[in-house]
Every structure is written in C-alpha cells, then in structure tokens.
Amino acid sequence: MNGSLSSAASAAKERHESAAASGLQLDMSRGKPSPDQLSLVEGMLESVSPGDVRSEHGTDCRNYGGDLFGLPEARRLFAAMLDVSADSVIVQDNSSLRLMFDTVAQCLLVGTSQAGPWRALDKVKFLCPVPGYDRHFGLLEYFGVEMIPVDMTDVGPEMETVERLVRDDASVRGIFCVPRHSNPTGATYSAVTVQALASMSTAAPDFRIFWDNAYAVHHLTSSPPPLSSLLDSCEQAGNPDRVLMFGSTSKISFAGSGVSLLAASASNLSWLRGHLSKQSIGPDKLNQLRHVRFFRDLAGIESHMRRHAEIIGPKFELVDRVLEERLGGLVSSDGRPLASWSLPHGGYFISFDVLPECARRVYDLASQAGLKLTPAGATFPLGDDPRDQNLRLAPTMPSLDELERATELIADCVVLASAELQSGA
Ligand SMILES: Cc1ncc(COP(=O)(O)O)c(C=O)c1O
C-alpha cells in the first residue's frame, strides 16, 4: 500500500468507527425530490377550486368523459415539454414506470402495432445501457426478458455494439434508454447517437426503443447539451413506429401525484388506445387541470425547474467538492485514482466508480456506519456489476448538512475499502 493511502486509511478508520458508534442514520439511496422542492408546487393544490372544474372545452373534469388520451390543453403543454406535437402525446395518471411496464406487457401478450406477441418467441432480449436505471432492469427481469448490457459512453450507449446486436439477432426486441441526464451517469445522447438509433437496421420487424425522457427539463446548468427528437428522426428514417417515448412530472410537480406521458407515432397511439380503453374509462382530469393551470406553458415549467436547480444544484456541487477534497490525488499502488465520478448537467444522480472489486465493500462499510446507499450492482441487470465498481449517489433528498456528513463518510469508506483491497485483506 502506498504511504498516503495508508495514512488516509488510519484516519478514515477512526472516523468510520465514530460514525458507526454515533447511531447515524442517513439515506442517499433514492432520487427523491427534497421537501423544499415539493413546497414550490404546493400552490397547485389550490389551482382547481369548487365551482371551477371545467376544461377549456367545457368538460366537467369531475365526471367521466373527455378523451382517453388526456385533456387537449394538457397534451399541448406536455408536448412542448417533450418537444413533440400535441397529437403525438398522451397524458395519463401518475407513474411513467407503470406505463412502461404496461407497454412491455402488451408487446409480450398481444404483440406490437407491427407484429405478433413476443411471448411466442423462444427468447425475448433487450439491450440495457449500463450503468442504468435499476427499475427498468427490475421490470424486464419480472417478465423474464433476457438483458444484454451495453456500455454507456458520454454520448449514449456504445453504438457499434448496439448496431451489431440488433442487426444479427431477431430476438433482440428493444432497448431502454434514458436519453437526457441519464440515470445514473448524467449523459445526454448526442445527435449522432439519436440518428443511428433511428436508422439502424434491425433483424426484428418491430424493434422498440423505450425512450424514457424522465429528465427532459431537469437541468442543473444554464447550457445543457441539446437532445434531438427521436420521434422526428425515426419518422424521417422510415421507422416511425420504432420509438415509444415516456416522461412524467414526478420530479417536476409531486413525485406521488404527477402525470405520466407517452409520445409515439399515430399507429402506435391507435395500438395503445386499443388496450388503454379496456383498462380505464379515462385518466384523472382534475389533476391534469391542476397541472395546466399551475404551469400554464413551457416557460412556466422551465422557470419552475430553474427554482429546482437553485435548490439541488448546490447539493451536487457539495458532493463534488467533498469528494475532491477527500479523494482527489489518492491513488492505488499501481497509480489508479481511488474513485472517479460524473459531474452531471442535470438529472438526479452522480455515477461513482471506485476501484474494481470495491463497490460492494464500500456499500457495506457505509451501511455499517448508518448510511444507506443504492445497493452496489443495482445499476446493472440482475444486480450484477461484473467489475463490482459502480455506485449511484442520490444527493437531492438530504439537507446540505446531512449531505456533507454522508459524502465525507463515503470518501472514508472508499479509502478503507481500497486499503483493504491493496493489503489483500
Ligand atoms: C429514468 C427514470 N425513469 C422513470 C422514473 C420514475 O418515473 P415515474 O415516477 O413517472 O414512474 C425514474 C425515477 O427515478 C427514473 O429515474
């Protein structure tokens, strides 16, 4: 072990022991909005009041009726947010994850708008950019879909691998993408990546891109990288049905009481209507009305999101500063940095890489000292990070004081785990 790591390790050990003895309880495991963020939107609870419950076309939002796909004014508002036309987007109830789950279920059970049920195939495979979102992987695992990890780069998944796999194997039916401020790396897909996804040749006749644009407007900086429209690119490439685009207001309004969004081609929307109309008479129109009245237009959403950034931006900066102070310059005996981490332009996460074979140990050490992190491995299908290297940090929920304490502790856990690895313990 090199000298600076061993002296850092003895100080880290002392602090770790005292944190463990102090009964500390901190949680950085999930990307939840903080109470301050939720307070920004409380006015929405009053934006619909007794006697004032009709939509722009006079629909009584308390009753059945209106379009299954959502209020026209809500479709216009959220179309602007997803950068699509109003007739391509539908607005549904809370949870885009449920819409994604349901869409995969329909593809498996009844087939897509272009081909028969996937369950009739010997095998159904999805490409999974890694590190990625654990709930996408959980959903696919639930349905028995085989997941093929593909490495993420700063501009999207490694496209040569994607193109080869979709071209050569007809059982590869889909890919899950978080194209903007991705969970957890923060990467935004480049225009070249978007174009390649739209135009690549696929062996499957009905390959689907589950384009989960969960962080469409969740910027932390004033000049985030642009994201081009996959819906337009697919249309231009002659593959209009390839994309199913998702979004929600879970991290814009109320995480448990937002609206979910799905944008797609006309033929995919008519396919969706077929099964949505069997599930529900219609979505919660009062909630859609509340959202429209509170935000009004895209400028309203964007100014609201700038206020979010004022609250959570300093949290991301703090994590970066503390990690740099505590870990910057520390290297393993063969000269590798003990850790590296992403500096996202938006979204809710920091992707944190430690030395190979260390992530689980860092997670365990943090748990022993009372800090709950997202489990090591969660950012990979089946929880299996082959290098045991990646952790996801979620800085939004804790207060700044809690976050400082938690980040110092993470750095101590990294030093301890790396020192153990070097000494062969
Ligand atoms: C990429 C991504 N998609 C979807 C969700 C969940 O969205 P919803 O609350 O609309 O189900 C999250 C929440 O963290 C997420 O990170």
Q: pLDDT tens-digit profile of 312-347?
A: 999 999 999 999 999 998 999 999 999 999 999 999
Q: How much is the average pLDDT of 7-23? A: 92
**Atom from ligand 1 closest to the CA of residue 99:** 11
Ligand 1 atom with least separation from CA of 178: 1
Can you tell me the distance from the alpha carbon of 232 to that of 228, in angstroms, rounded to the nearest whole number? 9
Q: Which residues pair with 211 in a beta bridge?
A: 177, 245
CB burial class (10 A; 0-12, 13-18, 19+) of residue 20?
middle
- In the predicted model, what is the mean pLDDT of the chain? 96
For residue 255, the ligand 1 atom closest to its alpha carbon is: 9
Domains of the chain: 3-30+302-423 (3.90.1150.10), 48-295 (3.40.640.10)
Question: Which ligand 1 atom lies nearest to the CA of residue 97?
Answer: 11
Q: pLDDT value at position 69? A: 98
Is 228 in contact with 267 (CB distance < 8 Å)?
no
Helix locations, 131-215, DSSP H: 134-142, 159-168, 191-199
DSSP-assigned beta bridge partners for residue 174: 126, 208
From the CA of 59, how far away is ligand 1's center (Å)?
A: 30
pTM value?
0.97
pLDDT at 2 over 90: no
Q: What integer is the mean pLDDT of 286-298?
A: 98
Query: How confident is the model at residue 226, as a pLDDT?
Result: 97
**Best mutation site among 32, 244, 248, 259 for ligand 1 pocket (most ligand atoms within 8 Å of CB):** 248
d(CA 154, CA 156): 6
Kindly give the distance from the C-alpha atom of residue 96 to the centroid of ligand 1, in angstroms, as a whole number: 7
State yes or no: pLDDT of 32 exceeds 90: yes
Average pLDDT over residues 227-242: 98
pLDDT-derived band at 3, boundaries 50, 70, 90: low
Stretch 405-424: mean pLDDT: 95
**pLDDT of 1:** 56
- The tens digit of pLDDT for each residue in 37-91 reads 999 999 999 999 999 999 999 999 999 999 999 999 999 999 999 999 999 999 9
What is the dihedral sign for C-alpha 198, 108, 66, 295? negative
Residue 202 has pLDDT above 90, yes or no: yes
Size of the chain, expressed as the number of residues it contains: 425
- Measured in Å, residue 97 CA sits from the centre of ligand 1 at 6
Lining ligand 1 with CB less than 6 A are 31, 95-97, 133, 178, 183, 212, 214, 248, 250, 260
Ligand 1 centroid to 228 CA: how many Å?
A: 21
Mean pLDDT of 138-159: 98
Residue type, 346: G
